Structure 1
Amino acid sequence: MAEIVALQSASQDDLRTLNNAFAAETSYQSEDDWTRLIGQARFGYAVPPAAGFLIGMDQGADYQSPNFLWFKARFDRFAYVDRIVIAASAHGQGLGRALYERMFKDAKASGFERVVAEVNAVPPNPTSLAFHERLGFAAIGEQAFDSGKSVRYFECRL
């Protein structure tokens, strides 16, 4: 089993570099953007040195992502996965599942009843879609953006 540490104890430069390698799926983060993002994290985990990470927030975050705001408009209380990234060299090792299971455990211990996330529908991300469904997530909505991108929203009841 991979070692999972608190996001803040991992190398932020390495994690931001990993994030930016997957900017098409997540979003590019400058150093200032990254600092603000992790400052909002209620749930943040990493697999050192930079094999993967998960950043999650709760409904009280001061975060203006349209996906986060979609959930905020529908639920009074939720644990939101903003992003999970696994290095290409670490795919297939169960790190994504391990990071989610850690978040599920911590969210449940904090009294959350649901974890929510979105998956890109356009451009399609069938690997992420199948992964989330295997973890017990169910689709609860969709949103299309003027950019042509669209996402599918998911909930996993704890």
Structure 2
Amino acid sequence: MPELRDASADDFAVILELNDAEVQQTSPMDLERLEFLHRLSSFHQVALVDGRVAGFLLAMREGAAYPNDNYDWFRSRYRQFIYIDRIVVGAEFAGQRVGSTLYQALFARARTEGISMITCEYNLEPPNPASAAFHARFGFTEVGRQQVAGGSKLVSLQRLELAG
């Protein structure tokens, strides 16, 4: 089982490498952007496997000063939520429950804070069937779709209502 801890600046180089490897499914992120997102985040954890950073999850609460089309979509519709900006797991760690462990930790934090709604999106175009299947296993449902990145991506906007 992966070990989790809060992300720190010492992890940023590996986080950027992980993100770059999956940039088609996430979005570009340089050090300046990562530092900005880290400051906005209400949850930014890394998962360690054998002492190595295997993945990360970065999320923020409603009310963050985050200029992002997908975040804005949720902000305009829901009063209280946690928005998953990105989760990335290194390819060599696939199948080791890294993503699931990160999600379970986020859900536990949300419950502790009295937040029942988790939001996120994944690509429909270009397709990301692995993310679609991953989110379906947790019970996320589509609540909308929108074109982003200058029309180069179509995303499925997803919501999960956590049980108490």
Partner Cα distance (1:149, 1:130) in 2 = 19
Partner Cα distance (2:31, 2:69) in 1 = 21
Q: Is the 1:10–1:46 contact (alpha carbons within 8 Å) kept by the matching residues of 2?
A: no
Partner Cα distance (1:148, 1:12) in 2 = 27
What are the ranges of 5 or more consecutive residues in structure 1 without an aligned counterpart?
Answer: none
Q: Does 1:118 align with 2:121?
A: yes
Between 65-74 and 17-26, the greater mean CA deviation after superposition: 17-26
Q: How many residue pairs were aligned?
A: 158
- Other structure's SS at 2:159 match: strand
Partner Cα distance (2:145, 2:136) in 1 = 15
Q: Does 1:157 align with 2:152?
A: no
Q: Does 1:67 align with 2:70?
A: yes
What are the ranges of 5 or more consecutive residues in structure 2 without an aligned counterpart?
Answer: none
Q: Does 1:84 align with 2:87?
A: yes
Alignment of 1:49-64 (within 5 A): 49-64=52-67
- Other structure's SS at 1:153 match: strand
Q: Give the alignment's TM-score, normalised by structure 1.
A: 0.95
Partner Cα distance (2:104, 2:10) in 1 = 19
Residue type at the aligned position of 2:142? A
Q: Is the 1:18–1:50 contact (alpha carbons within 8 Å) kept by the matching residues of 2?
A: no
Alignment of 1:111-150 (within 5 A): 111-145=114-148, 146-150=150-154
Residue type at the aligned position of 1:7? A
Partner Cα distance (1:60, 1:8) in 2 = 23
CA RMSD of aligned residues (A): 1.2
How far off its partner does 1:9 sit?
6.7
How far off its partner does 1:129 sit?
0.3
Bigger strand fraction: 2
Q: Give the alignment's TM-score, normalised by structure 2.
A: 0.92
- Residues 18 and 155 (structure 1), Cα distance of their counterparts in 2 relative to 1, 3 Å cut: same
Residue type at the aligned position of 2:45? Y
Partner Cα distance (2:9, 2:32) in 1 = 18
Residue identity over aligned pairs, in percent, reads 34
Corresponding position of 2:107: 104
How far off its partner does 1:50 sit?
2.1
Residue type at the aligned position of 1:34? L
- The CA deviation string for residues 124-143 of structure 1, in whole angstroms up to 9 with x for no partner, is 10110011010111111111
